[in-house]
Amino acid sequence: MEKAEPATAADAFTATTFEHNVATAEGSVQASALMGQLERTRAIKKTAVPTDDKLVRARLRALGEPITLFGEEKVDRRERLQRIVFERKQESQDGDVEIHSPPPEEKAEPQKEEWEPAPNPQALLDARRDMCRFSIPRAKKRVAYQKAESRIRITKHIPHRKAIKERAAAFEVYGSQQASDRPMARVRFSPNGELVAAGTWGGGLKLFKPPNLETKIELRGHNDIVGGVSWRPGVTFEDLGVVHLASGDGEGTIHLWSIDQPTPLSTLKGHEARIANLEFHPSGKYIGTASHDYTWRLWDIESSTELLAQEGHAAEVLSIAFQIDGSLVASGGKDSIGRIFDLRSGKIIMYLDSHIDAVHALDWSTDGHRILSGSADGMVKVWDLRAVSETATLGAHNNGIADLRWFKGTDGPLNVDLPAKDERGDWMPKKSGTLFVTGGFDHSAKIWSADDWAPIKTFNAHDRTVTGVDISNDMKYVVSCSLDKTVKLWARDDLQAV
């Protein structure tokens, strides 16, 4: 039967409106269903279950579920347990799940606490006290700086930030070096910007000198991918025979290096799988390492001992970053969740839980309360501790983010007591914290504004994934490395700072 034509224009309008309303309603229902599914997924991931696979199996047995399924990995098994526990809590009237204890002969060890017992509890306690003593004066200094900064008029901020963007937009490739016969994994500027450390997938670690990127020294000791590189804060190159930087590899080994010798000063061992990333604590006394063994660990540099093995992630831990005061640390994992821990107590104070894929990179702002997270989902998210929530989401790269770095500079609360003043005696805006850089799976690196979160410059000279990026503290250079085996330096033609 043929569809009847509307008798009048009014009938046609009514029919069209009805169809539009039906389509809109269907779209709203679909959107609502998707949001509900997303919220459900987040709630499931937050469900507290053991991380130890033996305990996961025991819990499944106690719930009357199969302890393993065909082809199921440890991560899949833990996610299945989370889903089961969540669903049973939803179904139960009192909001809890009744769990029968396993038979005595199969009884597992008691579930571990949120933080792991330390190998040396007294050493960990001393370290926590030391970090507390270190962080409180720094927090006071930062707050005093920010109070003075709050008096700067917006009419000064606008032209200042505009000039920074214009100068950063003039960055172009200045130098390129085929750094290895293997793909590059990580790259970091020294605090003074005089050297660049670059690690490879083959275990190589070289120090290059900008702007020509000539090799200064090759550090030998790794046999597998150098996944993490970090320079020690507060140490100058005039100090010889001391730890200047650290690196971690695919064998779970961390080496501590001095720039005046090609072999390690010390080696830290304890991880059971690859080191994905590492970073020095702002005090320079400790180092945090993120590993594929599902833990991040805290080490004492002076004694070369492990202080803490922190569990909590349901999959490989891929990123770690210390807040500038030294009181907090953030970790991100392949489970798509980030966690912020209070180093003084060991407790989790905030979850970064809206990514849908692995969290590859984290970095803190110099303001002490914002943190960036970069994920394989292609998103950079901005989180604010004060609001305890996500405040911005950027579609940064097409195929995922491998690395990101927030510009720290030399004029922020890390380095000076108060903002600089102009000739009239008025406070001047700082450069610190105004930019950040990202490297992506789409073969590009980008400079971003930390004001409006808009891209300032895109670099497209690499042929493969950009695995590492950094920006020098003097704001003269951006450096990137890639699976195309090159390290590239980006700068203005006049080599002037932004």
123-176 pLDDT, tens digit per residue, is 999 999 999 999 999 999 999 999 999 999 999 999 999 999 999 999 999 999
pLDDT for residue 475: 93
Of 57, 77, 106, the one marking the end of a domain is 106
pLDDT for residue 105: 39
What is the pLDDT averaged over residues 330-352? 95
pLDDT for residue 101: 41
* Residue 112 included in any domain: no
* Residue 113 included in any domain: no
pLDDT for residue 93: 53
Of 60, 78, 106, the one marking the end of a domain is 106
How far apart CA 184 and CA 253 sit, in angstroms, is: 18
pLDDT classification of 3: cutoffs 50, 70, 90: very low
pLDDT classification of 7: cutoffs 50, 70, 90: low
pLDDT for residue 41: 80
pLDDT for residue 28: 65
| 130 plus 31 within the same structural domain | no
What is the pLDDT averaged over residues 3-24? 52
List strands edge to edge, sheet with 401-406. 401-406, 435-440, 445-449, 455-459
| 14 plus 163 within the same structural domain | no
| 314 plus 426 within the same structural domain | yes
Instruction: Say how far residue 4 (Cα) sits from the centre of its chain.
Output: 61
pLDDT for residue 98: 45
* Residue 137 included in any domain: yes
pLDDT for residue 456: 97
How far apart CA 296 and CA 271 sit, in angstroms, is: 9
Residue 344's CATH number? 2.130.10.10
pLDDT classification of 319: cutoffs 50, 70, 90: very high
pLDDT classification of 56: cutoffs 50, 70, 90: confident
- For the entire predicted model, the pTM comes to 0.80
| 309 plus 216 within the same structural domain | yes
Of 106, 132, 166, the one marking the end of a domain is 106
pLDDT at residue 220 tops 60: yes
Task: Give pLDDT tens digits for 21-45.
Answer: 545 555 666 767 777 777 788 788 7
| 38 plus 154 within the same structural domain | no
| 314 plus 462 within the same structural domain | yes
Please give the tally of structural domains in the chain: 2
Task: Give pLDDT tens digits for 59-109.
Answer: 888 888 887 887 787 878 888 888 898 888 887 755 444 444 444 434 334
What is the pLDDT averaged over residues 51-57? 78
* Residue 285 included in any domain: yes
* Residue 3 included in any domain: no
What is the pLDDT averaged over residues 356-375? 97
Q: Smallest Cα–Cα separation from 326: which of 384, 362, 368?
A: 368
Show the domain range for 43. Answer: 9-106
| 98 plus 134 within the same structural domain | no
Task: Give pLDDT tens digits for 439-494.
Answer: 999 999 999 999 999 999 999 999 999 999 999 999 999 999 999 999 999 999 99
What is the pLDDT averaged over residues 327-344? 96
* Residue 114 included in any domain: no
* Residue 244 included in any domain: yes
| 54 plus 140 within the same structural domain | no
How far apart CA 152 and CA 197 sit, in angstroms, is: 37
| 213 plus 361 within the same structural domain | yes
| 358 plus 470 within the same structural domain | yes
| 83 plus 144 within the same structural domain | no
pLDDT for residue 47: 81
pLDDT at residue 1 tops 90: no
| 240 plus 268 within the same structural domain | yes
Chain position carrying tokens 């809109």:
24
Mean pLDDT for the chain overall: 88
* Residue 253 included in any domain: yes
pLDDT for residue 184: 97
Express as a percent the part of the chain with pLDDT over 70: 88
